[in-house]
Amino acid sequence: MTISDQPPATPATPLLEVRDLVQRYTLPRENLFKPAAQVHALNGVTAQVSAGKSLGVVGESGSGKSTFARLVMALERPSSGSVSLMGRDLNQMRSDELRRARRDFQMVFQDPYGSLDPRQTIARIVAEPLTALGRIDRAALRERVAAVLRQVGLRDADMDKFPHEFSGGQRQRIAIARALITQPKLIVADEPVSALDVSVQAQVLNLMQDLQDQFGLSYILISHDLAVVDLLCDEIAVMYLGRIVEQGRPEDLFARGAHPYTRALLDAVPRARAGGGRRRRGAQAIASQSSGATGCPYASRCAMADQHCRETAPALRSVGPAHLAACHFAEAVMALPPAAAEGG
């Protein structure tokens, strides 16, 4: 069966299925007589995305969000676990099979300035994923590029321009056009609006929502901004130290968050917008990942943690309809007002 012969995803067969993803990175050796330390970037992450639906992945710097995106895109091989698109494990494919499979999943990167080659015309940039799949008639390719530029609100005349002639918001539209050119089923967007002004963010997010409605796209949206994932996503996974600590519908997580870390993210939003300590916390998270500590990874920052939390890591379990949390005190956290559940 070829890639093009794959059956469409149904509710019983998710478009994307990620199982028990683990990713470890070996750090530079500091001592010749001791083994090199490892960073545990992902620790058994499992998730699904159905056709036409969107999954938001949130967390602070160092939580594993971008590693998750790279593994879903098969840009790296996981230490263990699997990533299956329409029932086929991407990491078990031959290189030529994987190249053809990339027609069905594309990526939009964070930086609209650094992700576009300044030496290439917009036509060549947008056409690149399609030309990588094989030979295509030049006239047909140019018409395809023009059509996809129109879909993202740009003009045919923009094809022969260069990236420096466009604003940040327009560049991100070009990046989205490049992702759309192969008519994918899944787009992974890694912080797609974080480098843009707030007014431009809304335009790009509305565009992504319109494209989803028009073409039935599925998104994995990586973000640190809860408002962004609330607008675009059907489900949210909250990551901390390479683990999903809570997952559910946006309305459940925002109204009745079951993990102290989710509550802390919500409570920290005003401080984050004012330039709060997110970078500092991210550095702490990376250090903790490499320590090999036992127990709940959030225990050192949680006001509710007890000895049991420090000794036994909580499993991700059901705390309501389509609502999962990895916290020994999830039910108690759900009953607290947001400010009372923030970790110390």
DSSP annotation string for 82-133 = EEEETTEEGGGS-HHHHHHHGGGEEEE-S-TTTSS-TTS-HHHHHHHHHHTT
60 falls within a domain: no
| Domain boundaries, position 266 | 255-344
329 falls within a domain: yes
In three-state secondary structure terms, 161 is: coil
86 falls within a domain: no
100 falls within a domain: no
Identify the band that residue 289 occupies on the pLDDT scale cut at 50, 70 and 90: low
Q: What is the pTM of this model?
A: 0.86
Q: Is pLDDT at 294 greater than 50 in this prediction?
A: yes
**In the predicted model, what is the mean pLDDT of the chain?**
86
77 falls within a domain: no
Residues 6+ apart with CB under 8 A from 175: 108, 109, 112, 115, 116, 192
Identify the band that residue 339 occupies on the pLDDT scale cut at 50, 70 and 90: low
Query: How much of the chain exceeds pLDDT 70, in percent?
Result: 87
The total domain count for the chain is 1
- Tell me: the pLDDT tens digits for 262-280? 999 988 765 433 344 333 3
- Tell me: the pLDDT tens digits for 189-248? 999 988 888 888 889 999 999 999 999 999 999 998 888 899 899 999 999 999 999 999
**Residues 222/278/301/314 CA torsion (nearest 10 deg):** 10
